Structure 1
Amino acid sequence: MVQKAVSSGYLHATTKHQSADAFLIAVPTPFIEESKVKDKKADLGYIEAASKSLAPLLKIGDLIVLESTSPVGTTEKISEWLAEARPDLTFPHADGELSDIRIAYCPERVLPGNVLHELVENDRVIGGLTKKCSEAAESLYKIFVRGECLLTTARTAEMSKLTENSFRDLNIAFANELSVICSKLNINTWELISLANRHPRVNILQPGAGVGGHCIAVDPWFIVQSCPAESRLIRTARDVNDCKPEWVLNQLEVILKNIRVKNPGYTSRDITVACLGITFKPNIDYLERVLL
């Protein structure tokens, strides 16, 4: 598909920005982990750099859409950064519907391993800084999206993406905490969850060694950053999941120690540890981690 798009002239890559009618910003938003602060804050440096680098190309009527998962208020910051770089143009954070440039937020909602299908079929949440901004972004996405385009404000769209990933994090944390409790009480976690899920309104997830991927383990912190006093449950879920890998390694150390006690002549080379599920989802790139 990529080869066909390139050979037909619809797709090309460049290291230099080029003039366009619409710009999509999709760059990393990692968190900054300060040594003296427990909570983590988003690093918006990539978004700021991307915004300012395209500023010289902007013309009246252009559309800018941020897709990167971001803290609430980031789309407004883009408008402010661009206004500083291009005082000859007007922007929605200051001039509203009369602004020269349209700016919106539309987070991606795709499952790794099934991206091409979900990019087209999934519903999209589109939040503009103004109604005209939302409508301009909707017109762009309707070119290829078969799902429904749901219009809202930029702040609500930003929070929607964070909420989706935080919901997953909270449910995973519940399953992970259950496994720790069951281990201490000498209860089979898998049997317990299987029995509890027989209730028609209960659907507990399967516990694991924490949280995989690069989204769920990061995005909830952006809510905590915005409202630290109010996001107690979200922060606790992050703490539970962040502690789970160490708990799993401790369990493994106990098992290995017991094997050596039963087999005094054994060394580390005599013991094989099988690691299943190295990738956090099926059909995606291999993720290597050094466990021991």
Structure 2
Amino acid sequence: MKQENFILSMIIPGPNGPGDAIDTYLQSLIEELKELWDVGIETYDASTRHNFKLHASLLWTINDFPAYGNLFVWSTKGKLACPCCNKDTSSIQFTNCKKQCFMGHRRYLPHSHKWRNETKTFDGNKEERPAPKIRSGIEILDQVQDLEGLQLSKDPKKRKKISHEKRQDNWNKKSIFFELPYWKCLLLRHNLDVMHIEKNICDNIMGTIMSVKGKTKDTIKTRLDLQEMNIRSELHPIQNGEKNEVPTACYTLSPEDKHKLCLFLKNLKVPDGFSSNIS
């Protein structure tokens, strides 16, 4: 056994993935992980030439954000989309673009940080709230104790509807990973794959500064939301008869600037596999 690290991957192809009902596929894995922790496995040590009892544990999972919701079984949609912030997620829904926005990022700054007192630069308000409390494994188990034994299904006839509004949280069931005796003691259970995050952020930025139709985040509806929030007055739509004119933003590139940027990216030399074609 020469490899120091092993990656266990599970791919469930097709448009009809199991979603929150992934427990069916994870059950055998969980049983083997419990056996590795409780019983162990007889292993040969090449250096001492003796057998020993090897025990193993699962440190964490690595996944994108939607899969995070499936594995943690906390819905990553709606106003409480952040599993870490839990019930203390800071979010608002804009009235024009109908998007859910999470603007409480300054809560994580030190209490004396100058950005907490900034109003014009951010959402027009000072931030005096502390960072959301990190829930321990015991606290999480207390929240889902009434969902013990609940099995989710992709079959609409067997699917049990969980009312998040009534529960005032986003739990769908108790995660199967909590069957592992040590899972509640871990400080970090799920890691986000930065590849998807980097790509999405890059796509949003490029689509906005290049004014790509259908991909830009700078639309008339988002400008109206800025006006409603009474921030960024230079970006507010200007009423011209029955139409709204959108002022050009400082981050919007002119046709000449777009050509220069595309030319730069075209001539940019990077290591093989380092980046992809943005077109």
TM-score of the superposition, structure 2-length normalised? 0.27
Greater fraction helix: 1
Give the number of the structure with larger relative contact order, counting CA–CA contacts within 8 Å between residues 6 or more apart.
2
Query: Highest CA radius of gyration, 1 or 2?
Result: 2
TM-score of the superposition, structure 1-length normalised? 0.26
